[in-house]
Structure 1
């Protein structure tokens, strides 16, 4: 199956369990791969036959910016649910990272795989 991806989408949001994290926006980094048959778009060269990754990206930004999750696990589940509302997307491999959350580490986070 073909894959359409968005890599390293950075969004500022309230995320975390500690008091200071509930007051200060932090950056989360989101990457996703979506299974989507691109053959029709590859033949027609028409945007309406393609997966609109800009629309998907904007919807993820809107969700994350307007939420205040405690856990990256919950954020990941909600993003996956949102993306899979598009029934043409067969499955999603999603990575949600919280840079700087652990001293000495570039980032921490979760990878999840969900399907229709």
Structure 2
């Protein structure tokens, strides 16, 4: 299996357990790995034979602007399911980082990996 990766994708969303934290958008950083069979695209050199990375980034940004999450876990699951369903990925791994949320901490977050059923 092949992997498409999108590194350090900055998105805006409302995220946090306390309600006040979800009142304003925050920058969240995503690392996304998408499992896909790229053998045809390698031969054809045609974007129709792969996943359009720009469409993935735009769709993730769009959906995260529309939703609010309490937990980074729920946000990661949402992104995984979106990519599996809308882009026919074989599997997806999403790292969600919430930067500088606690003093002395660069970031906190989760890594969630899901496979198409």
TM score, norm. by length of structure 1: 0.93
SS of equivalent residue, structure 1 residue 101: coil
* Structure 1: tracts of 5 or more residues without a match: none
State the partner residue of 1:48.
Answer: 48
What is the aligned residue count? 116
**Shift of the alpha carbon at 1:19?**
3.8
Q: Distance in 1 between matches of 2:92 and 2:112?
A: 8
Q: Distance in 2 between matches of 1:86 and 1:70?
A: 24
State the partner residue of 1:57.
Answer: 57
**Shift of the alpha carbon at 1:60?**
0.5
Q: RMSD between aligned alpha carbons?
A: 1.3
SS of equivalent residue, structure 1 residue 102: coil
* Structure 2: tracts of 5 or more residues without a match: none
Spell out the pairing of 1:25-40 with structure 2 (5 A cutoff): 25-40=25-40
Spell out the pairing of 1:105-116 with structure 2 (5 A cutoff): 105-116=105-116
SS of equivalent residue, structure 1 residue 85: helix
TM score, norm. by length of structure 2: 0.92
| Corresponding position: 1:70 with 2:99 | no
**Shift of the alpha carbon at 1:18?**
2.1
